[in-house]
Amino acid sequence: MREQYRSESFSEDDLAADPMQQFARWFRQIAAGGMLHEPNAMVVSTATPDGVPSSRTVLLKMYDEHGFVFFTNYESRKGRELAANPRVSLLFPWHPLARQVIVTGSASRVGREETAAYFRTRPHGSQLGAWASDQSSVIGSREELVRRYEELSARYPEGEQIPAPPHWGGFRVVPAAIEFWQGHENRLHDRLRYVREDANGDGGDGGAGGGAAWRVERLCP
């Protein structure tokens, strides 16, 4: 199967001064257009120290000049892999606009206060689910998972404050590179990539903005 992309032009002259501003510009467009149910859905790819990869879809919960934030169980597969190897990739597949954003960088845990503040904004059922599920671990049956949830629901009825699990929290991904991909017909796509110019190139020093220097590269499609 093949589709001819018909989309708007995208050139170096269209780019914002830094990649987080450019991401905000595209994100607002896709969110306002209503073409995607969850425009903040992204594919998070991690790897073990010896290079075994894994990917899954996660919801982006915040972005700013310091990077991209998502929340998860720290004992899940991605949590354990990021603890051992903080290198990470994010992919935003915005197919209705023939666009993708690809982020590579380094992840670190956010502070507990930030985690607790976000946890309080989650729906009651999602808070219970964070406690009920030992994410990525083997479980005997769905009934066992539902039973855990129901026990927690009885302990913490609607309106009762639920503490954030100690094994659950946020990761902030500080980008080392962000590629903006705009599809065009005849496979003549535009691929413009911001690359952070620092000593180690892994995005580990400081935030994505706040004076970080970036160069822009055009990649062949």
State which H helix or E strand residue 50 sits in. Answer: none
Considering the candidates 25, 112, 187, 218, report the single residue annotated as catalytic: 187
Which of 191, 189, 187 has the alpha carbon at shortest distance from 216? 191
For CATH 2.30.110.10, the residue range(s) in the chain are 12-120+168-219
pTM score, whole prediction? 0.89
Residue 4 has pLDDT above 80, yes or no: no
Residue whose pair of structure tokens reads 């120290």 in the numeric block:
49
Superfamily of domain 12-120+168-219: Electron Transport, Fmn-binding Protein; Chain A (2.30.110.10)
Average pLDDT, the chain: 91
Average of per-residue pLDDT across 170-197: 95
**Residue 5 confidence (pLDDT):** 67
In the residue annotation, 187 being an active-site residue is answered as yes
| Residue 80 main-chain phi, psi, to 5 deg | -70, -40
pLDDT digits (tens, 9 = 90+) for 68-112: 999 999 999 999 999 999 999 999 999 988 999 999 999 999 999
